[in-house]
Amino acid sequence: MTLLRDPSILIVGGGPVGLCTGIALLKDGHQVALVDSGAHGAGWASGGMLAPLYEMAADPTCPEPYVEFALKSAEHWQELARTCAFDLQAPSLFLARTEEEAVALLSLRSRANGLGLDLTSVCVPAELTAQAAFQAPSERSLDPRAALNSLLTQFQLLGGELLTGQAEAIGSHQLGLVDGRTFEAETIILANGFGASSFGQSVPALKALSPVKGQMVRVAHPELASPIVRACRIYVLSRGGGLVIGATSDPLAAPVLSVDVDPVLALLAEAKELLPSVATALTIEAWAGLRPDTPDHLPLVGASGVDGIYLATGTYRNGWLLAPAIGTYLSELISGKTLDQALMNLLAPERFSS
């Protein structure tokens, strides 16, 4: 048995949620080690969207405490980006291609105003095909690959310990790796996305996780005037001298990271309707990721029901957005601080333990 520094917190998963949680715990005076396999997860594969308006407030059924949680997390990103020295892209341009989409965006503007956020009507850029456009200064994105490197550097600068390995078995206060190493820690946090589902026999709440496959494409194309363009399910990001186009969403696809031709072609066809010049753009890269989802599309954050094990997964489409708030929430929870009960009820992993 390998003993970590005592008292110790061991985090499984080096994606945005794991790293932001580690950073928050370190800032609060905890000693933290992080186990990561080195494989690319959903955080690496995503578009890095920080979009509480478009992803949450646009849904009238989204619980209010969850919207507020997301908005606070979006605010945290501004400070975290400055500390870790990476850029946030803004503003976002929301496009309506049909009358129905225009009505939905007008409704979202009213919701945004009620939340103290700006969503203003603007002219549709000539290069884009749409009936109406709204600009959202507070909706941002980041480059996931660059941000992951910066967050890891910050985690280590704060004294966090990085352990490379694949987690294989878990029990109360204990974690086993594929290579035979075992670790004992006062607190273990599973923040490894859909990968945490492999521990479902030991942690029943994890049986609620399901994979939603998403695929994205990068094309060679001049960057757009607006760095983020969104229209219904599709987004186009000006990044790295080209465009990143995302994202498919298929809960019925096999949970593998292969790129499937038909969904990618459908994504490109939709992008061409929005931006006709994509028709002649050279495809540079295509990739896939598995989003960790739950039956109610809300995360699993908090005590797992198994002594010493906490969960930080099930973030679905919003892992990057929610990562700082999840980190702060877990640090406060582990430290015994009083948290909002309504939010705790929404996020509690034990809602699926049975």
Query: What one-letter code names the amino acid at 143?
Result: D
- Residue 131 and residue 18 share a domain: no
Q: In this predicted structure, what is the pLDDT of residue 2?
A: 59
Partners of residue 286 on adjacent β-strands = 217
| pLDDT, the chain, mean | 95
- Residue 342 and residue 250 share a domain: no
**Which CATH number is 132's domain given?**
3.30.9.10
Q: In this predicted structure, what is the pLDDT of residue 321?
A: 98
Task: Tell me if 40 is assigned to some domain.
Answer: yes
Phi, psi of 137 (to 5 degrees): -65, -30
Name the band, by pLDDT with cuts 50, 70 and 90, for residue 119.
very high
Query: Is the pLDDT confidence value at 6 over 60?
Result: no
Domain endpoint, select from 273, 293, 313? 293
Neighbours of 65 (CB within 10 A): 16
- What mean pLDDT do residues 260-267 have? 95
With contact defined as beta carbons under 8 Å apart, do 327 and 24 qualify?
Answer: yes
- Residue 308 and residue 269 share a domain: no
Distance of alpha carbon 236 from the chain centroid: 17
Name the band, by pLDDT with cuts 50, 70 and 90, for residue 206.
very high
- Residue 227 and residue 287 share a domain: yes
Name the band, by pLDDT with cuts 50, 70 and 90, for residue 7.
low
Cα separation, 299 vs 305, whole angstroms = 15
Domain endpoint, select from 247, 276, 293? 293
Q: Give the residue, 354 or 263, on which the prediction is more confident.
A: 263
- Residue 129 and residue 221 share a domain: yes
Q: In this predicted structure, what is the pLDDT of residue 353?
A: 79
**Which CATH number is 189's domain given?**
3.50.50.60
Query: What one-letter code names the amino acid at 88?
Result: L
Cα separation, 182 vs 167, whole angstroms = 9
- What mean pLDDT do residues 197-217 have? 97
pLDDT in tens, 29-50: 999 999 999 999 999 999 999 9
| Crossing angle for the helix pair 319-334 and 16-27, to the nearest 10 degrees | 30
- Residue 216 and residue 280 share a domain: yes
Q: Retrieve residue 303's tokens.
A: 């005590």
Q: Retrieve residue 186's tokens.
A: 């006062």
With contact defined as beta carbons under 8 Å apart, do 58 and 111 qualify?
Answer: yes
- Residue 111 and residue 40 share a domain: no
- What mean pLDDT do residues 330-342 have? 95
With contact defined as beta carbons under 8 Å apart, do 181 and 49 qualify?
Answer: no
pLDDT in tens, 69-105: 999 999 999 999 999 999 999 999 999 999 999 999 9
Name the band, by pLDDT with cuts 50, 70 and 90, for residue 5.
low
Task: Residue 193: give the domain boundaries.
Answer: 2-46+145-209+296-352
Domain endpoint, select from 293, 311, 327? 293
Using a cut of 0.75, tell me whether the model's pTM lies above it: yes
- Residue 329 and residue 192 share a domain: yes
Phi, psi of 81 (to 5 degrees): -65, -40
Calculate ∠ Cα 129-131-222, nearest 5°.
25
Considering only the C-alpha atoms of the chain, give the largest distance between any 2 of them, rounded to a whole number of Å. 64
Q: In this predicted structure, what is the pLDDT of residue 111?
A: 94
User: How many domains are there within the chain?
Assistant: 2
With contact defined as beta carbons under 8 Å apart, do 25 and 185 qualify?
Answer: no
With contact defined as beta carbons under 8 Å apart, do 331 and 28 qualify?
Answer: yes
- Residue 177 and residue 153 share a domain: yes
Q: In this predicted structure, what is the pLDDT of residue 222?
A: 96
Q: 282 in helix, strand or coil?
A: strand
Name the band, by pLDDT with cuts 50, 70 and 90, for residue 271.
very high
